[in-house]
Amino acid sequence: MRWIEAHTIRQVQRCLSANVPIVGGGSWLLSDGSVPEAVCDLREYPWAQGITGNESGWMIGPDVTLSQWLQALDSENVIAEVIRKMGTPIFRRVATVIGAVANPQPVADLYPVMRLLGADIFYIDLHHDSIQHEKLMWPFRANPRALVGLWVPASTPYRFIAFRKYTKGRLTRVLLNLGTGLAQQGDIMTADFVIGGLSQWPYEDRVAGASHSISHQISQRLRNQGNITPFYQALIMEMCDDVLNQWEHRADRRSEL
Amino acid sequence: MPRLLKTHYSAVVTVNGHVHRLTVPGHERLLTTLRERLHLFSARYGCGTGHCGACVVLVNEEPVPSCLLLTVRQQKNRIQTLEGLKKDSLLAQLMTSFAEEHAAQCGYCTPGLLLSARHLLKTCPSATESQLREELSSHICRCTGYYAPLRAIAKVRDSYAVD
Ligand SMILES: Cc1cc2nc3c(=O)[nH]c(=O)nc-3n(C[C@H](O)[C@H](O)[C@H](O)COP(=O)(O)OP(=O)(O)OC[C@H]3O[C@@H](n4cnc5c(N)ncnc54)[C@H](O)[C@@H]3O)c2cc1C
Ligand code: FES
Ligand code: FES
């Protein structure tokens, strides 16, 4: 296997045009003894390295592991909640944040919350001689591309973002995950949700209405989809109701204060 | 320039304080290097996919699965295996406690468990039960049912005085 350390846009583009995969932590790409002919390593790519955080958000470089970001986050932060639910501590010390958002596997845990937070990806592709950026969204519009940075804004349009995940066991395949963003204006509540595990790409939707009707509306929307089995509908509704409960609890606490 | 043609690389890796100059194929995992080139057998092959923790070693003091790491990428890192910690007092206490609590049966998972436990107690000397469980979740043990290792580690935590 050839191991290529890319330091310039041109070098990255040569790898992309030769279909050389970019390697992050390698936990997926290199697992189970798989040996690509070559890999392109961006860990030393001199654009964004490490974690830069300020009041407006986080910039994450391709060298940052899930574990490093977890340590830098406030433990109450929803991103920390997601990362804590990903794999095990030894896995999180190897897998990178960018590897997790670059890898559009059917059930990927970081994606739903990154979507709700409106994260941007910075990337190199074959069509531009400078680094491009756009909102993170699967499937990627331009392929192939090398991600060199992830920007996660600190402010969000939501009052509350929650994440739920269903696996049969800690080490077995994830079956389903759900990211939900709740906003409220007067009596009208909006719930955006991103669900991984139903099809190849995460399913995104929005419902709005009086807060007591939200659960019913989501349930209706899932039924109307036609292709979601009753088992998955029930699973999603249990997660949604749990999130709505948590939200109500918070709202109560706030009004008490 | 990117190195486009090479398939073997010179790698200078520091393991247990010793510097080794090796020539390894680009795809070689650290676990293979440790076992087959350096004859350090404490790290074991279990799954090869980062799931079982049998191959855990310390890279810059942190427990990581060596089956997922490329040797060529370890040049700036400090690698430690159980063999390199013979004089470590915390590890000695953990080993005694494992023996007393019957926390090792076949022993296949034990080196990895010991390294994770040592790391946790070093970074978080008063680790809670849930932190212990979280750290141990990196490891699969088919013999003990996990209670004995948890007990053994908690016992050391309760008696371990940080320097
Ligand atoms: C033990 C284990 C447990 C896991 N548990 C979970 C879990 O709980 N939740 C979850 O969501 N996932 C889980 N995964 C999957 C893991 O999150 C993904 O494999 C993730 O992509 C790992 O990141 P990495 O840095 O190791 O990526 P790599 O394995 O290096 O790469 C993965 C893919 O992303 C591409 N890629 C990586 N970096 C870039 C880049 N900068 N630009 C463009 N493409 C890039 C690679 O070419 C490859 O196709 C688990 C995997 C393992 C092995
Ligand atoms: S052999 Fe490395 S984690 Fe199982
Ligand atoms: S003691 Fe046998 S696998 Fe753990």
Q: What is the model's pTM? A: 0.94
A254 pLDDT higher than 60 = no
Are residues B14 and B61 in contact, defined by beta-carbon separation less than 8 angstroms?
no
A211 pLDDT higher than 60 = yes
B2 contacts in chain A (CB < 8 Å): 4-7, 11, 14-15, 40
pLDDT higher at B7 or B86: B86
- Dist. CA B138–CA B1, nearest whole Å: 38
Using a CB–CB cutoff of 8 Å, tell me whether A146 touches chain B.
no
pLDDT band at A170 (very low <50, low <70, confident <90, very high): low
Kindly state the tokens that stand for B66: 């060596």
pLDDT band at A142 (very low <50, low <70, confident <90, very high): confident
ipTM for the whole complex: 0.94
- Tell me the domains of chain A and their CATH numbers: 2-40+48-153 (3.30.465.10), 160-256 (no CATH)
Give pLDDT tens digits for A12-29: 999 999 999 999 999 999
- Tell me the domains of chain B and their CATH numbers: 8-83 (3.10.20.30), 87-159 (1.10.150.120)
Give pLDDT tens digits for B20-46: 999 999 999 999 999 999 999 999 999
Are residues A63 and A24 in contact, defined by beta-carbon separation less than 8 angstroms?
no
Give pLDDT tens digits for A91-106: 999 999 999 999 988 7
- Dist. CA B7–CA A35, nearest whole Å: 12
> Residue range A113-130: average pLDDT?
97
Q: Is the CB of A95 under 6 A from ligand 1?
A: yes
Residue type at position A152:
V
Residue type at position B33:
T
**pLDDT of res. A106:** 78
Give pLDDT tens digits for B64-110: 999 999 999 999 999 999 999 999 999 999 999 999 999 999 999 99
Q: What is the mean pLDDT of chain A?
A: 91
**Distances A4 to A131, B2, B149 between C-alpha atoms, Å:** 20, 5, 42
**pLDDT of res. A171:** 58
Number of the ligand 1 atom closest to the C-alpha atom of B65: 1
> Residue range A82-99: average pLDDT?
96
B135 contacts in chain A (CB < 8 Å): 89
Using a CB–CB cutoff of 8 Å, tell me whether A37 touches chain B.
no
Q: Residues A28, A94, A136, CA angle at the centre, nearest 5°?
A: 65
Give pLDDT tens digits for B126-153: 999 999 999 999 999 999 999 999 999 9
